[in-house]
A and B are shown apart, each in its own frame.
Chain A
Amino acid sequence: MRSREEMVSLVIKRAAVFCLPSVLLAVLGLSGCKTAPPPDPQSQLIAKGRDIFFNETFAGNGRTCGTCHPAENNFTIDPAFIAALPKDNPLFVAEFNPALKENFENPALMREFGLIQENLDGFDDLKNKFVMRGVPHVLGLRTSVASPGGPRTGWSGDGAPGDGSLRSFGVGAVIQHFTKTLNRVPGIDFRLPTEDELDALEAFQLSLGRQQDLVLPLRLKGTVPKRGQAIFLDNSLGKCNLCHVNAGATANFGGGSLGNANFNTGVEDLPDQPARLTTQTVPRDDGFHTPGDGTFNVPPLVEAADSGPFFHNNAIETIEGAVAFYDGDAFNSSPAGLALKQADPRGVGIELDGTQIVAIAAFLRVINTLENIRQSIMLLESSLSVSSPEERKRLLQRAAAETGDSIRVLEGGGLHPDAVAHLRDARRMAEKAVRSVFFNRKHTEAAIRDQKKARAVLVD
């Protein structure tokens, strides 16, 4: 028989044995929580813009900006992403809304090639006057919209109504893509964004992706990507850097930056364009202006490798194919190709062999991966300072998705398997952080370390 004192002592010991780990876990868990500072006005505006971008339908057919620019797919859509969407996704509104069945979208071309219907030359003959375009991502807009002649938005640079600015772009998008019927009556078929909403949408879009251009050359470690960079920068061989300075979206032919410029590179003259191999009607896209002058604006290349298919008509699926386009007849016979030829002392446009094409593509794959790593680290670090579990989860999932892109982009070019291994570890840690209640900080920090290891494999 134990005495009362022994019993009390035993109870206390047992309680200590059972409770101590819980207390320690709680302390550990709480140590991961920091009180986030109150958001500044710009952050609040961006957050408001994000909410509008992904959730606001503007009283239209159910689409949001995020329908075609989903964050989880690099703010663009492609056939693989589209194939995974449920049938009732508002992207497919032409398939289930009778008022939009004809002359609003072409579901066959949307599903097979990721193409969207646009009436850039007017709405007076919807059956015959339209173009079919891919969805450009909206990353790095801060570096790619400005031009001395004014802002350039969309594939041909004239995507926005009003003053043509990125801020005004949303108004045109709502009218073109969000309408309930083809009458397009404001207040009935949709509502137009308010001034405040346009401010917020602009702030959010400008916050996405890179805020500045790279400064090339980078000290790349891989033999082939390094050679690809050299060809890219060689104004007598690759000539890429003339129109894509620092792999961005601005041109400079030696007389200073032209900002984001428009060129006719002959993409519309490509033979065997996928959409035109079908029985569907695909009118010629005349680009900038009405009637168009055949030019399209320069997209940034840092984001290219994981955001294909490529060009305004999704004509080419792979980054290698996109580089090879500039070695072909369509480009070298185009106004831009002929101008390059004219400027060349040997009178040649762009002539590359297979190894050189692959080397440039390898370079583009590596700089895309470096950008994905940068974004992933930023997302992971941000997740450490947010107090909302939902927001933390969102950031971690985005980081895991970006890391997945990095893995695919490197593997697709047979590049840097050692970096891929680190990236796989990083993704696993990010996914564990999503699931973990008490150790998300530890896993997140491990993911950041793995991202940095991968980066160190790619560049000095």
Chain B
Amino acid sequence: MNVMKFVVGVVGMSALLVGGQPPASAQKMTEQFIPIGQSPGLSGKATVIGKLQSVNTPQKTCVIAGPTGALNVTVTEQTKIWLDRSKLQQPNLKGTFADLRPGATVEVKPEGQQRGVASAAAEWIKVQAASP
């Protein structure tokens, strides 16, 4: 009986721990220093690189003109925004929603491993900094 109880307990614990397991995640912080288009295993596969078509500040959304069409992006509290200044040979910086300006080149990583979706919340957005 004790064995049965143990098995049930352990299976329960398994469910508890697995249920509570966050998904595997990349280390977002060094991502800040990787230029647009060079994120290993993501760029060209799970990200969209394109021009910012429009920005809706009140709704915290924007539209990216990507190679396969438009992507509607929602910026959440979890979304990281970085200014990619590597072409200017300057350190990349943490950005804000205000750095999203129409016409800027951006790379967007949608949350999860979505590909080819029309709209998504962004895990991170890299914005190409314009020349001074």
Contacts and interface: CB of A to CB of B under 8 A. Distances in A.
A163 interface: yes
Among B15, B34, B46, B94, find the residue whose CB has the most chain A CB atoms closer than 10 A: B34
A255 B14 contact: yes
B6 A343 contact: yes
Interface residues of B, number: 43
Contact of A171 (B40, B89, B94): B40
A162 B13 contact: no
A283 interface: no
B26 A255 contact: no
13 contacts: A151-B24, A152-B24, A161-B30, A161-B39, A162-B31, A165-B41, A167-B41, A171-B34, A242-B10, A253-B13, A253-B17, A254-B10, A345-B5
Contacts of B66: none
Contacts of B89: 185, 187-188
Interface string B82-116: 00001001111010000000000000000000000
> Which 3 interchain pairs have the tightest Cβ spacing?
A150-B24, A163-B41, A253-B14
Contacts of B43: 162
B132 interface: no
A334 interface: no
Given A163-B40, A163-B46, A253 B10 contact: yes
A122 B15 contact: no
Contact of B14 (A183, A186, A258): A258
B2 to A, nearest CB: 5
A192 B27 contact: no
A176 B32 CA distance: 11
A149 B18 CA distance: 10
B118 interface: no
Contact of A161 (B13, B18, B28, B92): B28
A288 B25 contact: yes
Nearest to A173: B30
Contacts of A123: 29, 32-33
A349 B31 CA distance: 39
Given A184-B33, A186-B86, A255-B15, A164 B6 contact: no
B120 to A, nearest CB: 17
Interface in A271-330: 288-290, 293, 295
B34 to A, nearest CB: 6
Interface of A: 119-124, 147, 149-152, 154, 157-165, 167-168, 171-172, 175-176, 183-188, 192, 195, 198, 235-236, 242, 251, 253-255, 258, 261-263, 288-290, 293, 295, 336, 339-340, 342-345
Contacts of A198: 40
Secondary structure at chain A's binding surface: helix, strand, loop or mixed? Answer: loop
Contact of B30 (A171, A343, A345): A171
Given A161-B34, A176-B30, A184-B33, A289 B94 contact: no
A150 B33 CA distance: 23
A162 B45 CA distance: 11
A162 B26 contact: yes
B9 A344 contact: yes
Contacts of B34: 161-162, 171, 175, 186, 192
A177 to B, nearest CB: 10
B110 to A, nearest CB: 13
Contacts of B90: 183, 185
A175 B38 CA distance: 13
A351 to B, nearest CB: 15
A154 B11 contact: no
B28 A290 contact: yes
A383 to B, nearest CB: 35
Contacts of B18: 255, 258, 261
Among A121, A164, A167, A187, find the residue whose CB has the most chain B CB atoms closer than 10 A: A164
Given A151-B24, A186-B34, A186-B35, A343 B13 contact: yes
B23 interface: yes
A161 B40 contact: yes
Given A236-B6, A253-B13, A168 B86 contact: no
A242 B45 CA distance: 36
Contact of A149 (B24, B35, B38): B24
B30 A175 contact: yes
Contacts of A157: 24-25
